[in-house]
Amino acid sequence: MRLISDPAEMRKIAAQLLADGALGFVPTMGALHRGHMSLVTASRARDRHTVASIFVNPKQFGPTEDFGRYPRQFDADSALLADVGVEALFTPAIEAMYPAGFSTKVSVEGLNSKLCGASRPGHFDGVTTVVAKLFNIVQPTRAYFGQKDAAQVAVLRRLARDLNFDIELVICPIVRDPDGLALSSRNAYLTREQRHAALSLSRALNQARADIEAGERDAERLRRKVIDTLSANIDLRPDYVEVVDADNLLARKTVEPNTLIALAAFVDGTRLIDNLLVDAAFRVLM
Ligand code: AMP
């Protein structure tokens, strides 16, 4: 696996790989777990070549958020990626991505203030700015993202459409631990007790899934019940629970195909997210 930190070199290598066949791209912030690796596996299965990136993007963290202590484990990550056949790993320095005088912001207006964008002002602008840069550098055939970050998926689909990126976005299912907890690099912050408290997120969504499968279609009743389940846990502080259209992230009154129930909650200082999606056949994916 080639380790590349220079954007110009990454561009050159990616173009060489693409000339030989479809190129898949998996952007990450590292601290890799089975969720990230599922994206790599999907690309390896579908594309001739796979490139990954690790960049802890300062622009998507708020001033009081965890940028400084975000888990960084480069050696373990790069060994994992090399093992599964990733051909190039792009790990730019902050100064390479945002050199002195950097002054451009890519902003998907409207969507950027929904869900996590409401509680994390500027977060999605940071995401879309870095993803636009990564797309321009790598110019892959396909880029792989996780359904775990459902609002990010909506924002990135709009970005790709609005800016005519000729890149297919492939969205992969949420990978969970056997007890239901969605994998996240931030789970590393949790003590045993906090991790136990965090199980309420998937439990609340599982309840909503059962209700939807039993025919419940009233969005506000479902939302209230999820909030009540989260609030019943004194070790959790709900941030938001929303029932929305998965594409435009606007609130829905009834559950229809493409309805997303998304939530965020704090366990002590750690902010966790989770969601479920109702597909075209009213199946609940989570
Ligand atoms: P991150 O390193 O947190 O920026 O995540 C990089 C990519 O991995 C994003 O597209 C995430 O949505 C995806 N991802 C993170 N956790 C999971 C998970 N549990 N299941 C599936 N994809 C995930």
Candidate of 25, 26, 28, 181 to mutate for ligand 1, largest count of ligand atoms within 8 Å of Cβ? 28
Supply φ then ψ for residue 250, to 5 degrees: -85, 145
- Point out the residues that are catalytic: 36
Band (261; pLDDT cuts 50, 70, 90) = very high
Report the pLDDT averaged over residues 204-233: 98
Nearest CA to ligand 1 atom 22: 146
CA-to-CA distance for 259 and 137, rounded, in angstroms? 34
| Residue 67 pLDDT class (50, 70, 90 cuts) | very high
Say if ligand 1 is within 6 A of residue 145 CB.
Answer: yes
Q: Is 184 in the pocket of ligand 1 (CB under 6 A)?
A: yes
Angstrom distances, CA of residue 236 to CA of 60, 160, 220, 274: 24, 35, 21, 14
**What are the pLDDT digits (tens) for 127-185?**
999 999 999 999 999 999 999 999 999 999 999 999 999 999 999 999 999 999 999 99
Q: Which amino acid is at 195?
A: R
pLDDT in the model for residue 257: 98
Q: Are 275 and 150 a contacting pair, CB within 8 Å?
A: yes
Q: What angle separates helix 123-138 from helix 7-20, to the nearest 10 degrees? A: 60
Q: For atom 17 of ligand 1, which residue has the closest CA?
A: 35
pLDDT value for 80 = 98
Residues counted in the chain: 286
Task: Report percent pLDDT > 70 for the chain.
Answer: 100
Q: Using a 6 Å cutoff on CB, does residue 149 contact ligand 1?
A: yes
User: What does R_g of the chain's alpha carbons equal in angstroms?
Assistant: 19
Separation of alpha carbons 126 and 98, rounded Å: 12
Q: Is 151 in the pocket of ligand 1 (CB under 6 A)?
A: no
Helices (H), 214-262: 219-231
Per residue in 71-97, pLDDT (tens digit) is 999 999 999 999 999 999 999 999 999
For the Cβ of 126 lying below 6 angstroms from any atom of ligand 1, the answer is no
Cβ contact 165:151 at 8 Å: no
* Separation of CA 238 and ligand 1 centre (Å): 21
How far is the first Cα of the chain from the last one, in angstroms, to the nearest whole number?
33
